[in-house]
Amino acid sequence: MTELAKLSLDELLSLQHRAAAEVVNRQSAERDKAKQDILAIAAKYGLEVRFGAGSATNSKMAKTKRGSVAAKYRHPEDSSLTWTGRGRSPIWVADWKIKHGSLEGITIR
Q: Going by C-beta distance under 8 Å and a sequence separation of 6 or more, which residues neighbour residue 70?
A: 84, 108
Residues 24-61 have pLDDT tens digits of 999 999 999 999 999 999 999 999 998 886 655 555 55
Residues 80 and 94 both lie in one domain? yes
Give the per-residue pLDDT at 58. 54
Residue 48, domain extent: 8-63
Residues 5-31 have pLDDT tens digits of 898 988 888 899 999 999 999 999 999
List Cβ<8 Å contacts ≥24 apart for 100-109.
103/73, 105/76, 106/73, 106/74, 106/75, 106/76, 107/72, 107/73, 108/70, 108/71, 108/72, 108/73, 108/74, 108/82, 109/72
Cross-strand pairs, 74? 82
Residues 56 and 74 both lie in one domain? no
Task: Report yes or no on whether pTM surpasses 0.85.
Answer: no
Residues 75 and 59 both lie in one domain? no
Give a yes or no: residue 3 inside a domain. no
Instruction: Decide if pLDDT at 88 tops 70.
Output: yes
